[in-house]
Chain A
Amino acid sequence: MTGTQQVFAIAAAVVTLMVIMELVRRRRLREEYSWLWILTTLAMLLLASWYGLIEWLSRLIGAVTPTTTLFLFALMFLLMLNVHFSTVISRLTQQVRRLTQELAIREAERQGEGVERPRPEDPGRPAPR
């Protein structure tokens, strides 16, 4: 890995880390979803700055150049992030289902009490999929 490559890799990792931290600080990214991102950038930083580690890893996995190792690990972390998001989405889907059902049940109960909910034309109603 040339010096330029190393400097660029470190810079990219630092910038990413700063962006993540800023998003968390402004509460645009919740702490509970930021940890995997922070882990990813820290791992990239470590691999980019500690040349001995990346050489050792490259030998371990049989990579020809250290850059390959860096890309491979970055890719693996991104993959993990995506799987993590899929589980988050699954949980959100479950919660939306539960909420929607609860709302529907409450409305049906109100109908039973003889309280008709006014149902005007609702422009805010989302179009069905």
Chain B
Amino acid sequence: MLSELQALDPSAAAARETPVASARRRLLVVMPAYNEERRVRQVVERVRGAVPVDVLVVDDGSADATAAEARLGGARVAVHPVNLGYGSALQTGYRYALRHGYDAVLQMDADGQHDPASIPALVAGLDHADVVVGSRFLSGESYRPPLARRVGMWVFGTLARLVAGIRITDPTSGFQAISRSALTFYAHERYPPDYPDADVLAMVARSGLRLTEVPVRMLASPDGKSMHGGVLKPMYYVFRMTLALLLVPLRKETI
């Protein structure tokens, strides 16, 4: 079926010489963006410069010119009229990819913290897995998160190992490659609207999809903002993650 799709699509054939296409896949880069007008264009251009792929920027209800900037960079843009959340924006990309016959999605953030040079490694991981998570902790670089975050990562990592038997060093990584069967799994109500995390990976593992991690390079986010800042947000995060992980074994997910 894969070869059929490629035969029908001339752009995939044209891109066959590139490292990404050597994996014989038609790939869509999905980039959720929220108020990223200052960086999104450059990030899209760098991705398209590194790999000849289609880029879909999902503008999650930005108040600024994110969509226009992304178009200038050469991306196709899907605009949410209202802000739905990071997870919902990703899911829009998955649904678009499924509908347009892409074989895989590579998702990365629009703020430039994900190095496009790591894309081929992630896509190559799809040869033996359905979800390939890019981990900044496997690359041997000396990134050391704050203590509270390390504790949280350890607790939820242990919990995910207990409920799903997975070992993931960087479950919050937004730099991932996803196969078509995993896209189908994700294009469902089960996919969280806010931040997909270890709970989603635990669901993936329990549903029989294959999960793997590869080292990637991540750059420091230019303005250092975190998605989980503040006081109440981390508390809600801890609550939601605990609940979601504990519910994983109680839910029956079918692909």
Answer whether A103 and B99 are a contact pair too, CB < 8 Å, given A108-B76, A111-B76, A128-B63. Answer: no
Complex CA gap A127/B82 in Å reads 8
**Can you give 20 contacting A-B residue pairs, CB < 8 Å?**
A93-B193, A96-B82, A96-B84, A97-B84, A100-B80, A100-B92, A101-B84, A103-B81, A104-B58, A104-B59, A105-B95, A105-B96, A107-B78, A108-B77, A108-B96, A126-B81, A128-B62, A128-B63, A128-B82, A129-B83
Answer whether A127 and B63 are a contact pair too, CB < 8 Å, given A100-B82, A111-B77. Answer: yes
Answer whether A105 and B78 are a contact pair too, CB < 8 Å, given A94-B189, A128-B63. Answer: yes
B50 part of interface (Cβ distance < 8 Å)? no
Report the count of interface residues on B (CB-CB < 8 A): 27
Which of B35, B78, B80, B99 has most A Cβ within 10 Å? B78
Out of A93, A101, A111, A119, name the residue touching B80 (CB < 8 Å). A101
Which of chain B's residues has its CB closest to A126's CB? B82
Which 10 pairs across A and B sit closest by C-beta, in order of nearness? A104-B78, A108-B78, A101-B92, A128-B83, A128-B63, A100-B80, A105-B96, A104-B80, A108-B76, A128-B61
Answer whether A105 and B99 are a contact pair too, CB < 8 Å, given A94-B189, A97-B193, A111-B77. Answer: yes
A123 part of interface (Cβ distance < 8 Å)? no
B20 to chain A, nearest CB (A): 21
Chain A 87-107: CB-based contact to B (< 8 A → 1; otherwise 0): 000000110110011011101
Do A100 and B81 touch across chains, with their CB atoms under 8 A apart? yes
Out of A100, A108, A119, name the residue touching B84 (CB < 8 Å). A100
Which residues of B sit under 8 angstroms from A107, Cβ to Cβ? 77-79
Which residues of B sit under 8 angstroms from A111, Cβ to Cβ? 71, 76-77
Do A104 and B79 touch across chains, with their CB atoms under 8 A apart? yes
- DSSP majority for the A interface? helix
A-B contact count (CB 8 A): 60
Which of chain B's residues has its CB closest to A94's CB? B189
Contacts A100-B80, A108-B79 supplied; 8 other A-B pairs, CB < 8 Å: A100-B82, A101-B84, A104-B79, A107-B79, A108-B77, A119-B67, A128-B35, A128-B61
B88 part of interface (Cβ distance < 8 Å)? yes
Which of chain B's residues has its CB closest to A91's CB? B189
Complex CA gap A96/B61 in Å reads 13
Which of chain B's residues has its CB closest to A106's CB? B78
Which residues of A sit under 8 angstroms from B35, Cβ to Cβ? 128
A90 to chain B, nearest CB (A): 10
B243 to chain A, nearest CB (A): 14
A112 part of interface (Cβ distance < 8 Å)? yes
Which residues of B sit under 8 angstroms from A127, Cβ to Cβ? 63
B68 part of interface (Cβ distance < 8 Å)? yes
Which residues of B sit under 8 angstroms from A93, Cβ to Cβ? 193
Interface residues of A in 112-128 (CB under 8 A from B): 112, 119, 125-128
A120 to chain B, nearest CB (A): 12
Out of B59, B68, B91, name the residue touching A101 (CB < 8 Å). B91
B90 to chain A, nearest CB (A): 10
Which residues of B sit under 8 angstroms from A125, Cβ to Cβ? 81
Do B61 and A108 touch across chains, with their CB atoms under 8 A apart? no
B133 to chain A, nearest CB (A): 23
Complex CA gap A103/B80 in Å reads 7
Which residues of A sit under 8 angstroms from B61, Cβ to Cβ? 128
Which residues of B sit under 8 angstroms from A100, Cβ to Cβ? 80-82, 84, 88, 92
Do B83 and A105 touch across chains, with their CB atoms under 8 A apart? no
B154 to chain A, nearest CB (A): 31
Which residues of A sit under 8 angstroms from B67, Cβ to Cβ? 119
